[in-house]
Amino acid sequence: MKTNPSKLQTARTNGSVEFYETQIQRLWRRFSSHRLAVFGGCIVLLLLLSAVFADFISPHDPLDLDTSRRFIKPFTDIHFILGTDEMGRDTFARLLHGGRISLIVGIAAMFATVVTGLLVGLISGYYGGKIDNILMRFTDTILCFPQVFLLLILAAFITPTVISIALIIGLTSWMEVARIIRAQIQYIKKQDFIQASFALGASGPRIMFRELLPNAMAPVLVSATLNVANAVLMESYISFLGYGIQPPLASWGNMLTNAQAYFDLSPWLAILPGIMITLTVMSFNFLGDGLRDALDPRLKM
């Protein structure tokens, strides 16, 4: 959006709102100049829409099997655009419904991650001292474990459902968010308006949730977006190994498990879910990067 300097001058003298770009406008200007982020955002939107309306878009039931039409190649049959798998199920329908499951897990895991990280970081940053010390040592300790190891052990212990998978992914990835929030809170806490709240006798929870938290939301938004990407990756991996989403429910990860057996015969069964995972993870990563640049140019890598 280009602004004309003389127009700005008249706008200023008239005291018109045009001179003052609102927060949202400024964010949008910065965000939309980041081409890859806009591209990522569009893909994310498309993926979300296709997940919500999967039942309407897909021409077949993803569980409808018929062994008389196994291994149809993609783009050869008008009824099965992306072909069929080893049980004759429609790949397009399975990709759509698998995407729904993968995105639900990704977003639910993101919420688990952000809520846990937010609480730990907020309490740690606000109270400081002993509480901070204990919580941060705990965070450091969890960070010592490689995530995939912890995740697989927990996944082997629980009954895998969409919610339980999302929860364990959240439980093993909140540490980064907690650290970011803590640093942010420590910085905001020193500012005058928080000191003023203290002086006015505001309660701890009020300061935490009404004053500190809203001011620390920008980095939370960024890491929430990036966390969806990571959660989708993690879910696909543990489902691929057989500890995540269980068949017949399709997820991109467990579609790859079956595809591995028919690799030589029908590689597209392995290629398509992989492309979907990559596309999803990449879009969320680009979106997160763009948001970071738009919200806080200082954080730019």
Partner 1 sequence: MFKYIIKRLLQAVPLLIGVSIIAFSIMHLAPGGPLSVYTLNPSITAQDIDKIKVILGLDQPIHIQYLKWAGGMFTGNWGTTFFGGRPVFNVIVERIPATFLLMGSAMSIAILMGMFTGILGAFKRYSIFDYLATTGAMVALSFPTFWFGLMAIYIFSLKLGWFPSGGMFTLGGEEDALDLLRHLVLPTLVLALVLVAQWSRYTRSSFLEVINQDYIRTARAKGIKGSKILIRHALPNAVAPLIALAGVQLPWLFSGALVAETIFGWPGMGRLFVDSLTMKEYPVLMGMVMFTAIAVIFGNLIADIINAVLDPRIALE
Measured CA angle at 166 (ends 161, 171), to 5 deg: 125
CB of 142 to partner 1, least distance (A): 7
Among 81, 142, 202, 249, binds partner 1 (CB under 8 A): 142
Q: Which is nearer to partner 1, 194 or 232 (CB)?
A: 232
Q: Least CB distance from residue 48 to partner 1, whole Å?
A: 17
> Is 121 exposed, middle or buried, given 0-12, 13-18 or 19+ CB atoms closer than 10 A?
buried
Among 119, 241, 249, 295, binds partner 1 (CB under 8 A): 241
Residue 61 φ then ψ, to 5°: -75, 130
3-state helix, strand, coil in the chain (%, to 5): 75, 0, 25
Residue among 32, 50, 147, 197 that touches partner 1 (CB under 8 A): 147
Tokens 């300061």 sit on residue: 207
- List Cβ neighbours of 233 (8 Å cut-off, separation of 6 or more): 277, 281
283 Cβ contact list (under 8 Å, min separation 6): 39, 40, 41, 43, 44, 47
Q: Are 270 and 263 a contacting pair, CB within 8 Å?
A: yes
Q: Is the peptide bond before 247 cis (omega within 30 degrees of 0)?
A: no
Helix (H, G, I), strand (E, B) or coil at 138: helix
Instruction: Restricting to residues 244-273, name those near partner 1 by CB under 8 A.
Output: 256, 260, 263-264, 267, 270-271, 273
As a whole number of angstroms, the distance between CA 169 and CA 110 comes to: 8
Q: Which of residues 4-63 bind partner 1 (CB under 8 A)?
A: 36
| Residues 152-181 close enough to bind partner 1 by CB under 8 A | 152-154, 156-157
Q: CB of residue 280 vs partner 1: minimum separation in angstroms?
A: 8
Q: Is 266 helix (H, G, I), strand (E, B) or coil?
A: coil
Q: For residue 26, what are the contacts with CB-CB under 8 A and spacing of at least 6?
A: none
In the complex, what is the shortest distance from the CB of residue 15 to partner 1, in angstroms, rounded to a whole number? 39
C-alpha 44: how far from its chain's center?
Answer: 10
Q: Is 296 in the site for partner 1 (CB under 8 A)?
A: no
Span of 19-27, 112-120, 144-152, 202-210 interacting with partner 1 by CB under 8 A: 144-152
Shortest CB 5 distance to partner 1, Å: 26
Does the protein bind partner 1 through residue 236 (CB under 8 A)?
yes
Q: Is 297 in the site for partner 1 (CB under 8 A)?
A: no
Total residues binding partner 1 (CB under 8 A): 43
Distances (CA, A) of 63 to 29, 84, 292: 45, 11, 40
Between residue 63 and residue 82, which ones bind partner 1 under the rule CB under 8 A?
Answer: none
Q: How far is the CB of 151 from partner 1 (least distance, A)?
A: 9
Q: To the nearest whole angstrom, how small is the minimum distance from the Cβ of residue 248 to partner 1?
A: 21
Q: Which lies closer to partner 1 via its Cβ, residue 146 or residue 214?
A: 146
Q: Does 293 bind partner 1 (CB under 8 A)?
A: no
Residues making contact with partner 1 (CB under 8 A): 36, 137-138, 140-150, 152-154, 156-157, 229, 233, 236-237, 240-241, 243, 256, 260, 263-264, 267, 270-271, 273-274, 277-278, 281-282, 285-286, 289, 301
